[in-house]
Amino acid sequence: MSKLLVRSFGVSLDGYGAGPRQDLQNPLGVRGPELMEWLFQTRMFHTLHGPAEGKGETGRDNEMAEFGFANLGAWIIGRNMFGPVRGPWPDEDWNGWWGDEPPYHVPVFVLTHHARAPLVMKGGTTFHFVTDGIESALQQARTAAGDKDVRLGGGASTIRQYLRAGLIDELHLAVRPVVLGEGENLFAGLDLRAHGYECVRHVMGERAMHVILRRTV
* β-bridge partners, 173: 9, 211
The pTM (predicted TM-score) of the whole model is: 0.94
d(CA 147, CA 26) in angstroms, rounded, equals 36
- The SS3 of residue 89 is coil
- What's the confidence (pLDDT) of residue 52? 59
Cα-only R_g, the chain: 16
- The SS3 of residue 168 is coil
Give just the sign of the alpha carbon dihedral 143, 102, 132, 92: negative
DSSP calls for 106-150: SEEEEE-SS----EE-GGG-EEEEE-S-HHHHHHHHHHHHTTSEE
- Mean pLDDT split into 10-residue runs, the chain, 217 residues: 95 96 85 95 86 80 96 95 82 79 94 94 95 98 98 94 96 98 95 95 98 94
d(CA 38, CA 215) in angstroms, rounded, equals 25
**Residue 181 sits in a domain of what CATH number?**
3.40.430.10
- What's the confidence (pLDDT) of residue 53? 60
Provide the domain limits for residue 99: 4-215
- What's the confidence (pLDDT) of residue 114? 93
- What's the confidence (pLDDT) of residue 84? 78
**Number of domains comprising the chain:** 1
Evaluate whether 211 touches 172 at the Cβ level (below 8 Å).
Answer: yes
Evaluate whether 54 touches 44 at the Cβ level (below 8 Å).
Answer: no
End-to-end Cα distance, the chain: 17
